[in-house]
C-alpha cells in the first residue's frame, strides 16, 4: 500500500495550482493532508475511487486535516479525546483491520516560542493517545510534526537552535516518541542522508537553494517496520511551502 502525506498550506489554494493532476500522479491508497484551512462545505473535491474524511478547526481558515482513501475504514476518529486539544482539527484517525492510520498536524511553537509550553503538553497527550491505539493494533502516523529531530534534518542547525521547530524541548518530544517503540521511516532507509528536506521558507529563495527542514514524517510501530518497502520525499512537487512525503508498506 502506498501512503502520501502533504501539508498543502490551504487546500482551496492548492486546488488552483494543479492539485488534481498531482493527486492522480500519486496513485496512492491514502493521501493525508494537513493545514487544509477549511470549514465544512467550503470545497467540493472528489476523486474517483476515493472517499474523503475531514477534521475541521473551529477557527476559520486555520489548521485542519483530511484523508483521501481507496479503502473504507472500520471507524473514524477526530481528535485525541482531550477537550483542550481538540478544537483545531489537528488529528484524524482511520481504523482498519490491521492498523490505525493517524494523520497529524502538530502545533507550531510560533515566534518567540509563544506556544512552546502548549506544544509540549499537546505532545505528551498525543503520545499517550498513540500508545493507547498501539495496544490494539499497529499505528502508522504521518503528517507535519513541526520539528527537525536531528541536526542532519535541517540546513542550518546552529543558527536555528533556539527557534521554533528546533528547540531542545521539541526535539526531546520526538526522541521520547521514537523511544516509545516507533520508527522514523525515512531515517530507517536513509540514516545518513543529508539535504533531504520537506519544508522551505518562502524567504530568500530558500527552496531553490535547498535551505530547508525535514519536519514531515511517516512514523510506524516498530513491530511493522519489517513490512516497509520504501520511504520517500518528493521535493519536485510544488504548490506549497512543504513537499509531500510517502511510504510503501506491505499491508
CA distance 102 to 121: 19
Enumerate the active-site residues: 105, 144
Rounded Cα distance, 34 and 51, in Å? 17
Amino acid at each position: 500500500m502506498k501512503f502520501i502525506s502533504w501539508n498543502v498550506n490551504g487546500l482551496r489554494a492548492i486546488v488552483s495550482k494543479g492539485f488534481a493532476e498531482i493527486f492522480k500522479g500519486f496513485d496512492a491508497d491514502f493521501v493525508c493532508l494537513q493545514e487544509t484551512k477549511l470549514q465544512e462545505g467550503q470545497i467540493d473535491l472528489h476523486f474517483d475511487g476515493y472517499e474523503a474524511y475531514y477534521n475541521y478547526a473551529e477557527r476559520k481558515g486555520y489548521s485542519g486535516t483530511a484523508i483521501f482513501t481507496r479503502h473504507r475504514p472500520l471507524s473514524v476518529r477526530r481528535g485525541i479525546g482531550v477537550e483542550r486539544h481538540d478544537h483545531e482539527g489537528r488529528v484524524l484517525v482511520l481504523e482498519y483491520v490491521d492498523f490505525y492510520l493517524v494523520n497529524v498536524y502538530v502545533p507550531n511553537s510560533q515566534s518567540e516560542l509563544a506556544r512552546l509550553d502548549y506544544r509540549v503538553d499537546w505532545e505528551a497527550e498525543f503520545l499517550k493517545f498513540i500508545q493507547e491505539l498501539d495496544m490494539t493494533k499497529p499505528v502508522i502516523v504521518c503528517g507535519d510534526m513541526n520539528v527537525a529531530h536531528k541536526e542532519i534534518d535541517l540546513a542550518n542547525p546552529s543558527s536555528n537552535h533556539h527557534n521554533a521547530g528546533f528547540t531542545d524541548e521539541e526535539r526531546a518530544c520526538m526522541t521520547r516518541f521514537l523511544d516509545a517503540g516507533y520508527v522514523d521511516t525515512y531515517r530507517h532507509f536513509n540514516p545518513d542522508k543529508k539535504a533531504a528536506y520537506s519544508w522551505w521558507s518562502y524567504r530568500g529563495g530558500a527552496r531553490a537553494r535547498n535551505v530547508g527542514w525535514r519536519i514531515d514524517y511517516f512514523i510506524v510501530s516498530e513491530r511493522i517496520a519489517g513490512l516497509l518497502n520504501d520511504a520517500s520525499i518528493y521535493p519536485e512537487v510544488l504548490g506549497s511551502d512543504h513537499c509531500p512525503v510517502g511510504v510503501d508498506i506491505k499491508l
